[in-house]
Structure 1
Amino acid sequence: MIIPILRLDNVLLASIQIDLSDTEVLQFQTDVVNKISESDTLGIAIDITALEVVDSFMARVINETASMSRLLGAEVVICGIRPYVAMTLVEMGRDLIAADCAFNLSQGLEMLKNKIQARGDKYLASGDDYAQPDSV
């Protein structure tokens, strides 16, 4: 795993700190999807604060990773998009439509907590690993 994926309760945190080759971006995607499917992950925050450049391929893979994660039941927030990266993505016609975006990791984790709570998963929201969603 070139990018560590940390687990915080039922949320994963992946912080991309280095520029990645196309092969490494695809490996990151595989690692994220596998990590989500191995556990009871309710959300993932992907922090790209350290990246000064996000090319079209990387934007596409991050968007697809977010879509795959959502299909597996995990909410997704992309954190720390720099202004120049945002402008470049828009100019290239690349939106990150499969994920919400947050200014920084702190806001991203709060956003994940709220999204998980809103859909009825009380695990993260209550802070209790053993809490169960309300019965229907």
Structure 2
Amino acid sequence: MDRIPILRMGDVLLVTIQVELHDQLAMTLQDDLAARISATSARGVLLDISALEIVDSFIGRMIATISGIASVMDARTVVVGMQPAVAITLVELGLSLPGVLTALDVERGMHLLGITRSGDADHAQ
């Protein structure tokens, strides 16, 4: 079974989606990510969707669900790398993704999570 890698960077989990995200793979990602948040006590999730050119309503809901799961487990989610066409599609589908933070790239996403370039938590927030 295919799986999307989940990399740990300090107390943040980085998920970079590099393949077409079919429904079963999306469900597996949700389960794997919840397990990793629990196992690592991660406080943040960076979901890099820069390779996705198309997002349907199921994948949009999956992103919102991942954010909700992370939130319940005391972790914040930032979606990074959203292509303009994906943003337009999400708006046209009426998916506002409540509770989902977004950033243009991983560096800005890390900043939203309070992580500096050196990897230390930014306690000034």
**Normalization by structure 1: what TM-score?**
0.82
Distance in 2 (CA, whole Å) between partners of 1:56 and 1:126 is: 35
The structure richer in helix per residue is 1
1:80-136 superposed Cα distances (whole Å, 9 cap, x missing partner): 11111000100010122121000111111111116xxxxxxxx94169xxxxxxxxx
Q: CA RMSD in A?
A: 1.7
Q: Is the 8 A contact 1:64 1:98 kept in 2?
A: no
Other structure's SS at 1:67 match: helix
Distance in 2 (CA, whole Å) between partners of 1:58 and 1:102 is: 18
Q: Is the 8 A contact 2:114 2:122 kept in 1?
A: no
Structure 2, unaligned runs of 5 or more: none
| Count of aligned positions | 119
Which residue in the other structure is 2:67 paired with?
66
Distance in 1 (CA, whole Å) between partners of 2:49 and 2:40 is: 23
Q: Is the 8 A contact 1:10 1:124 kept in 2?
A: no
Structure 1, unaligned runs of 5 or more: 115-122, 128-136
Q: Is the 8 A contact 1:81 1:103 kept in 2?
A: yes
**Alpha-carbon spacing, 1:46–1:94, altered in 2? closer, same or farther (3 Å):** same
**Alpha-carbon spacing, 1:126–1:84, altered in 2? closer, same or farther (3 Å):** closer
Which residue in the other structure is 1:41 paired with?
42
Which residue in the other structure is 2:56 paired with?
55
Which residue in the other structure is 2:100 paired with?
99
Which residue in the other structure is 1:125 paired with?
121
Name the aligned partner's letter for residue 58 of structure 1: I
Whether 2:23 is the aligned partner of 1:11: answer no
Distance in 2 (CA, whole Å) between partners of 1:28 and 1:6 is: 13
Identity of aligned residues (%): 37
Which residue in the other structure is 1:133 paired with?
none
Q: Is the 8 A contact 1:53 1:85 kept in 2?
A: yes
Which is greater in Rg? 1
